[in-house]
Amino acid sequence: MTMQSKIKQLMSLRGSYDRSNLNLETHAKTICQYLVLDINDMSHEMSNLYGWTGKILSVDLTKRKISMLQTQDYSERFIGGLGIAQKIYWDQSLPENNAFHPDSPLIMMTGPLTATMAPSAPRLVVCGKSPCIYPETFVSASIGGFFPADLKKAGYDGIVIKGRADKPVYLRIDNDSVSIQDARNLWGLTNSKTCQIIQQENGKNARVMSIGPCAENGSRIGTVFSDLAGSASMGFGSVMGSKNLKAIAVNGTGKIPVADPEKIRAIKKKLRSMTGEGYYHLYGEPIIAPGTKIVKKVHCHGCAQGCWRTLQRNSSGKEGIRKCQTGMYYAKWDKQRHNRITDTSFFATDLANDYSLCILELLFIMLWIERCVEKGILTEKETGLPLSRMGSREFIETMIKKISCQEGFGKVLGEGTLRASEIMGKESREVTRNFLHHTGRGVAYGPKVFILSALIYATEPRPSITELHEVCEPLTKWALWYTSRGEKTYVSTDILRKIGRRFWGSEQSVDFSTYEGKALASKLVQDRQFVKESMIMCDFAWPVYDDAGAEDHVGDPALESQLLSAVTGLEIDEKELARTAERIFTLNRAILLREGRKGRQDDVLPEFFFVEREELIGDVFGMNNPDLLLPGSGDEVISRKGKAVDREKFEKMKDEYYDLRGWDVKTGLLKKDTLNRLDLNDLIELLKEKVI
């Protein structure tokens, strides 16, 4: 019996006295005996804690007070990572406070798999109210590398930060010793310089998360930067800056015990046999500039296979870590200017990371500027930027430093692309309406191509890239199979349909001639990814949709629950994990509703999703499949090129989705019965009119 269950029983004993004529002394003895048993059991449970450390740091920067939360108050219902972070946010935030309010919590949470021998689970989520999203609301980002593991090894499952220091500080964590240190000497420095100085003070093995000048000076688009070029976006670096928190340094030397090491080894062995065509192998080497060389792969903690994260050396000898397409965000303009990709793209990535600018936001900003210049809306005189030299080192350096210093037009750009376009007026705003989501996010793996993405984009202010990758990856493998006539991958139409049935609920989920089956698929994708972000597992390794070693090549969605059970010692099967996933996603919906979301009225798509026209497709699926081919029914193959979302079918799909989730179909609001079913009845009172 869990401690939470015993406390409920104890409270019922107390209630029975109120309703009976039991002798007070007798009843008091019963309660005291039960309390003694609880304390003994608590000690036993804590001494046999696997996966979790049992403690969450709570830091009040205003009062310079450090205290602890107990992980077990949250883990039974929400596991860790995103799940626990959401519940802490629910408990400690006020919806009327903006992102930069001192009392708005900034939450960093690992999961029970972090720092254990579990494969490819090195991450930490960063959560809170985002100043980057429009309008401000709760979202999450995540970061890998070694900082999350060292935080766990120091004895903490996460950190909750509130308040605002009266001067710049950094948080120093050295196992049991936690202190708030003066950081006035670090304020204004870049991330690389900050890390260097902190490691000189705390030892070269100290892991550091820090912010650069952009995040210090009031922009909305500052990132949190960490080792191995890890970066958490959504403006959370700017939230750190608003709290006068320059960095967090951790030295952790402990070990996180696991319940069943042999079972974990067996899962790791099985995983290696399954992932011959894993996401990290599928597309070959990352795109790099001519003359740039890959020195070596760089692995996060506990990662055996690696991904596109590599240490690269450019033609001038400078080294830097790159990952995925974000390492080449400036390449489009670099190539336009120089007729090839040069070291300027390498330089642009390093500069953005060092100053804590969100690389994707910079990409949106430059697309917006380029289109505004074409329409005569922006000029060099008005912006103070060398617009005629876009693609040059001079341009990107000038823009990044103006944003970071909040100088002139840089202050406008520091608001983020969507808000900047509103500041500059109606014509400018029309430009962003044609390529950005109405919350300010860009579009990748969108619903004009993948129908089941429509509900993900409609119901979340910031669709997680993990959800969109789950949609994209098996379909990209199928596209490569189809266009190469089976030479590049084994994911045929038949295998894809089996994957669809096992992971997305039906074979119709991968039939793109119909909207049938897409509502269920969307729900399953969201639930699986929210619980994955709670354990918290690498997006490049999990889930395993296809199996290189099996005859039918169908992956296994039960692996995550098996791994969680092996680490924690709790018996959690696939069905129970799915219920927990639904609870975590529903809590997210509750947070959004409490912060002002109106339900169905706000579950909408940008208008350009309903317009038939060809879009610029810059994602992996489009690059490998420019005709946007997808399977239809039977042997049919269709093209989604130039297609639009069908408005009437989208609304019907929403009806089905709300019904599957147990939400009110007419309003999209939550139902009391559903909250009770998911053990979320404690949310009902605060939601008030948002519950039916």
CATH code for position 158? 3.60.9.10
**Cβ proximity of 95 and 596 under 8 Å:** yes
Residue 423 resides in a domain? yes
Please confirm whether the linkage preceding 474 is cis (ω < 30° from 0): no
SS (H, E, C) 593-613: HHCCCCHHHHCCCCHHHHCCC
Alpha helix (H) residue ranges in 205-260: 213-216, 236-242
Residues 630 and 490 placed together within one structural domain of the fold:
yes
48-103 pLDDT tens trace: 689 999 999 999 999 999 999 999 999 999 999 999 999 999 999 999 999 999 99
Q: Please give the Cα distance from 70 to 48 (Å, whole number).
A: 15
Residue 685 resides in a domain? no
Side chain identity at residue 418, one-letter code? L
Residues 127 and 90 placed together within one structural domain of the fold:
yes
DSSP string, 359-399: HHHHHHHHHHHHHHHHTTS--HHHH-S-GGGTTSHHHHHHH
The region that residue 175 occupies, defined by phi over 0 for left and psi between -120 and 50 for alpha, beta otherwise, is left
Which residue carries 């309008």 as its tokens? 135
Residue 442 resides in a domain? no
Residues 291 and 181 placed together within one structural domain of the fold:
no
Tell me what pLDDT residue 298 has. Answer: 84
Tell me what pLDDT residue 431 has. Answer: 96
Q: Please give the Cα distance from 375 to 367 (Å, whole number).
A: 13
Residues 501 and 472 placed together within one structural domain of the fold:
yes
**Cβ proximity of 232 and 109 under 8 Å:** no
Residues 35 and 153 placed together within one structural domain of the fold:
no
Task: Give 228's DSSP letter.
Answer: G
Residue 87 resides in a domain? yes
CATH of the domain at 384: 1.10.569.10
Count of structural domains, the chain: 4
Tell me what pLDDT residue 286 has. Answer: 66
Please confirm whether the linkage preceding 543 is cis (ω < 30° from 0): yes
Tell me what pLDDT residue 3 has. Answer: 40
DSSP string, 149-199: HHHHHTT-SEEEEES--SS-EEEEEETTEEEEEE-TTTTT--HHHHHHHHH
Tell me what pLDDT residue 261 has. Answer: 97
Which residue carries 């499949």 as its tokens? 625
Residue 688 resides in a domain? no
Residue 406 resides in a domain? yes
Residues 525 and 619 placed together within one structural domain of the fold:
yes
Residues 155 and 297 placed together within one structural domain of the fold:
no
142-177 pLDDT tens trace: 999 999 999 999 999 999 999 999 999 999 999 999
CATH of the domain at 475: 1.10.599
Tell me what pLDDT residue 278 has. Answer: 55
Q: How many CB atoms lie within 10 A of CB 49?
A: 18
Tell me what pLDDT residue 36 has. Answer: 37
Residue 673 resides in a domain? no
Residues 415 and 470 placed together within one structural domain of the fold:
no
Residues 222 and 296 placed together within one structural domain of the fold:
no
CA angle 287, 293, 294 (to 5 degrees): 75
Residue 443 resides in a domain? no
Q: Please give the Cα distance from 313 to 433 (Å, whole number).
A: 39
Which of residues 405, 433, 461 is at a domain's end?
Answer: 433
Tell me what pLDDT residue 5 has. Answer: 45
650-653 long-range contacts (CB < 8 A, ≥24 apart) are 650/454, 650/458, 650/515, 650/605, 652/515, 653/451, 653/454, 653/455, 653/515, 653/518, 653/519
Q: Please give the Cα distance from 236 to 555 (Å, whole number).
A: 35
Residues 488 and 359 placed together within one structural domain of the fold:
no
Q: Please give the Cα distance from 634 to 160 (Å, whole number).
A: 52
Domain that holds residue 367: 287-433
**How far apart are the two ends of the chain, measured CA to CA in Å?**
33
Residues 143 and 101 placed together within one structural domain of the fold:
yes
Residue ranges of the chain with per-residue pLDDT less than 50: 1-47
Residues 129 and 208 placed together within one structural domain of the fold:
yes
Quick check: helix, strand or coil at residue 215?
A: helix
Tokens of 544: 């395993």
Tell me what pLDDT residue 276 has. Answer: 64
341-390 pLDDT tens trace: 999 999 999 999 999 999 999 999 999 999 999 999 999 999 999 999 99
Q: Please give the Cα distance from 278 to 542 (Å, whole number).
A: 9
